[in-house]
Structure 1
Amino acid sequence: LAECGRTFDDSSPFLHGILHPKVRKPAVILRPKNRETTSVLKGKCFLETGENLRAAFTTRECSSLEGVFLHHYSKYLAAEKKRHDHCPSVLDTCSTKDPLEDVLQEFQKVVASTPDFDGYFPYLAGKIKKRLGDDDNARLAFAESVRRAPLNWDAWAELAELIPSKDILVQLKLPKHWMYYFFEVRLLKLLEKNFECVALGECLSKLGFARNPSLICDLGIVFHNICEAENAVELLMWLRDADPYRIDHMDVFSNLLYVQECDVQLSCLAQTFSKVAKFKTETQCVLGNLNSLRGNHEKSILHFQRVLKINPSHKFAWTLLGHEFIQLTEPLKAIQCYRNALKTHSRDFRAWYGLGQAYEVLKMHSYSLYYYQNAQLIQPYDVRMHLAMGIAYEEMGRWSNARYCYERASKLHDPENIGFFRLA
């Protein structure tokens, strides 16, 4: 079983079979501890090969914290797959009972009967609650998780997405572990505290973390937010040059290349990863952005739908899919996509802005204004938000409000001087 640690998918099932020879009496009687270790190792290998139910069945009698966690984590993954398979299209809503509810109910009973649980128990509870839309309790669960297991980065990352303000952060009383500072960078990025995020990121870089991929990706997005697109692309390009076959964060890189209209670089990125990992979500995002840049919006929609079929909670695929429906003048489908995006990340200003555009197409300008205002609150220094609000006010005949928005836009970074033009 130690060989399974090399993650050879074909070797692992073969070695598992050796553990279950078809003889009436086993040659060696495994002690309980050894049997537990064997079940855990087998469960891990089954998870690596995507056999979630086999992993759950194998670990059903485990009593150690690791074994119990693995058993219920396998059930969670199996339930996720089931809920995806029962929805034929990413835009369909399933009316049947969510299988995650049963998984959560069973797991909560286990947690209640295990007083000495570790940080991974509340982590799993938080994952399930977040997927069920119970953000408040999910936030508390992730906070408890990082207190008990501060090295679990995924718990920190999930928690960052559920904190809408610094006031909530103070109430959680999180541990000042060294991982907290990477969490703070992620949180500041999500809260659009861009300059604070850059300052903290530079401090971490000077402390020896300049080559940390997660930090580089976060700072790249922040530089893009503050209209320093060249610095953003340079950071992600360094990450790609350092590890040409790294697929993590390449979906983010493709977004930056799309905004900069770098067709050649985006095409090279798509060709590389289509050969390496064609059906990974990151590759599908790259292909979606490339087709969108070239005006092939129908193909782009197919790629983003594949992303969401694999991972319905993908950070920004819902937003990008909504943009494509806007391009095809299908505002109702776009609205559904943007609303799903906000369920995943409520502070995605692009989703709020997209909703404003969709209602603008429908000539519902009061709704459009509301969503533009929400986008502007999150991204106050983005000229597009002020221009959009000004146009909405114009359509509603509120000229003084429109004039104020255009004056604000003219004072921001507006290379095309649209604010001055609209003001005139």
Structure 2
Amino acid sequence: MINRRGVLRSATAAIAAAAFAVSGFAGQALAQDKQPITFALLQDFTGVYTFVSNEYNQGQQDYIKMVNATGGVKGHPIELIVRDTGNEPQRGIEAYNRAVEEGAVLVDFLSTPVSRAMVPRVLEDEVVMITALHGRGDASDGQTFPYVFPMMATYWSQASVLAKYIEEHMGGLEGKKIAHVFIDSPFGREPLPILRELAERKGFEVKAFPYPSPGNEQSATWSDVRRWGPDHVTIWGAGGGQPVSIRTAIRNGISPKDILSVVWLARTDMRQVGFEAAKGVKRFAATATGRDTPVIQKIMETVIEKGNGTGDMENVGNVYYNIGVATMAASVQAAEHAIENYGAPVTGPKLKKGFEDIENFNAQGLMPPITITEKDHQGGGYGRVSMWTGDGWEPQTDWITAYQDIVWEEIEENAKQFEQGN
């Protein structure tokens, strides 16, 4: 029997060791006379988010290794601090304090509980916090949350894109019944205000079907869904709960082609469902998958093929790996703007302005083009819908955005509540 705790400890140690290797690898290619830029990746490697964090962090580290191997950011190497928070806010606070003492100007927790807890601190300390695909959706309002950058489509925007796909490619919304099946948590419930507002405007029904955490048992929920008889189903879970949702939906007579998922759905989930059985399932996609884009090809050439990769080579090009690469690509772009427009050394305030100078950046086709402004820290809310073909994820749309007027009503209402409570 495998000792899971021991494996997780080993994985965390390997990630941390690889992080220290980033600086050493950079030293082979860079002069050491320019001040480094420090990013802190303080993530959950042993708790709830391990289904995504290892691959995501691997992509982040490999991208930074590539940047350092090819000259850094205007000659400045990037140093990474990688530590485990276990998805615990108190450990996140401790890791953050140490990282800031060590000069970090950017932090990424990849944990909604930790990042939400840290919002007041980063605003006070003027340290940039990126919250791609997690955290507070209302942090898209850069005037209320000047140092927080979702930088990718919030769950509100993801729900809007999926609804737009149903409207334009699945026979329309009017008169339809859409079941929202979700893990019973704030994350799972987050799309409901958007779906309910759209239902009122577009003339369809939406009904909520929660299941208890962690999502290993959903039979009763899906029995209720079957009795209601929806035309389409949106599933809003993560990790092991996602393949359980799809398997149980199919057992209850729901066609895979009528299932549309939040971003957290990967090849490993499809393997658990059965590659052929899952054909037709659709999901929101925040980045391209595979190794065909120029940036992944460059990582392969400068890092992986030279034996300097952070983790298992098989992960390169996977969904979560590529999302990690995209987060660092945008962050490096911001650092470049900071140096070009405001001068070295890079500080939190300069990096903030650097992010707000990003315009139509797509990491050479890896991600949708994002434009970040002082007001909009989400970057436009773009994504696309991909479908599982039995072998991989095939894009069904171009990069699109949808119903951002409704999304921004929700952002501004929640941001106002934050302001009133602080």
User: TM-score with structure 2 length normalisation?
Assistant: 0.25
Task: State the structure with bigger RCO (CA 8 A, min sep 6), 1 or 2.
Answer: 2
Larger Rg: 1
**Greater share of strand residues, 1 or 2?**
2
